[in-house]
Amino acid sequence: MATSISEVTRAVEALLANPPPVEDRKDGEAEHLFDAMERLRVTLEKPEQTVNRIIFSCRTLPIIKIAQGMGIFDAFADVGLNHPLTLGQLDEQTKGDRTMLTRILRLLITEKVITKSNDEYTLAPFAYQFRNDTVSGEVVKHFHAITAIQSPNYLKARDYMSPDDAFDAPHQFANNTKNHYFHWLADDEERQRPFNATMSLPRHDDHNQWFDIYPVRERLNDESHVFVDLGGGSGHDIARLKTKFPDLPGRLVLQDLPAVVRGVSLPNGIEINPHNMFDPQPIKDARAYYMRTVLHDWPDKQALEVLSRVREAMGKDSILLINENVLSESGADDTPVVAHTDFTMMLNFSSRERTESEWIELLQKADLKLIKVWRPRVTIKSRALFEAMRVD
Spatial separation of the C-alpha atoms in residues 322 and 8, rounded to whole Å: 44
pLDDT score, position 1: 43
Spatial separation of the C-alpha atoms in residues 65 and 257, rounded to whole Å: 28
Judgement on whether residues 232 and 355 belong to the same structural domain of the protein: yes
| Contact by Cβ (8 Å): 313, 284 | yes
Judgement on whether residues 219 and 310 belong to the same structural domain of the protein: yes
Question: Any idea which residues carry the catalytic annotation?
Answer: 296
Instruction: For residue 184, count other CB atoms closer than 10 A to its CB.
Output: 18
Q: Which range (30-39, 42-51, 175-184, 346-355) has the least confidence?
A: 30-39
Phi and psi at 271, nearest 5°, equal: -90, 150
Residues 88-140 have pLDDT tens digits of 999 999 999 999 999 999 999 999 999 999 999 999 999 998 988 887 778 77
Judgement on whether residues 329 and 385 belong to the same structural domain of the protein: yes
Q: Has residue 284 got a pLDDT over 90?
A: yes
pLDDT score, position 301: 92
pLDDT score, position 331: 80
Q: Has residue 378 got a pLDDT over 60?
A: no
Judgement on whether residues 244 and 302 belong to the same structural domain of the protein: yes
Judgement on whether residues 382 and 244 belong to the same structural domain of the protein: yes
Of 76, 101, 133, the position where a domain reaches its end is 133
Judgement on whether residues 151 and 243 belong to the same structural domain of the protein: no
pLDDT score, position 101: 97
Average pLDDT over residues 312-341: 90
Judgement on whether residues 170 and 126 belong to the same structural domain of the protein: no
Q: How many residues does the chain have?
A: 392
Residues 187-228 have pLDDT tens digits of 988 888 888 887 776 655 555 789 999 999 999 988 888 999
Q: Is 51 among the domain residues?
A: no
Residues 291-326 have pLDDT tens digits of 999 999 999 999 999 999 999 999 999 999 999 999
Residues 41-90 have pLDDT tens digits of 999 999 999 999 988 888 898 999 999 999 999 999 999 888 999 999 99
pLDDT score, position 166: 92
Q: How many domains does the chain have?
A: 3
Q: Is 27 among the domain residues?
A: no
| Contact by Cβ (8 Å): 90, 70 | no
Spatial separation of the C-alpha atoms in residues 56 and 67, rounded to whole Å: 17
CATH code of residue 326: 3.40.50.150
Q: Is 243 among the domain residues?
A: yes
Query: Among candidates 199, 200, 166, which has minimal Cα distance to 183?
Result: 166
Judgement on whether residues 286 and 369 belong to the same structural domain of the protein: yes
Residues 6+ apart with CB under 8 A from 90: 72, 75, 101, 105, 121
Residues 351-377 have pLDDT tens digits of 999 999 999 999 999 999 999 999 886
Q: Is 300 among the domain residues?
A: yes
Of 179, 200, 221, the position where a domain reaches its end is 200
Judgement on whether residues 236 and 366 belong to the same structural domain of the protein: yes
Average pLDDT over residues 368-387: 84
Instruction: For residue 115, count other CB atoms closer than 10 A to its CB.
Output: 13
389 DSSP β-pair partners: 369
Tell me the Ramachandran region of residue 95: left when phi exceeds 0, alpha when psi lies from -120 to 50, beta otherwise: beta
Higher pLDDT, 247 or 142: 247
Domain enclosing residue 179, as ranges = 142-200
Judgement on whether residues 126 and 147 belong to the same structural domain of the protein: no
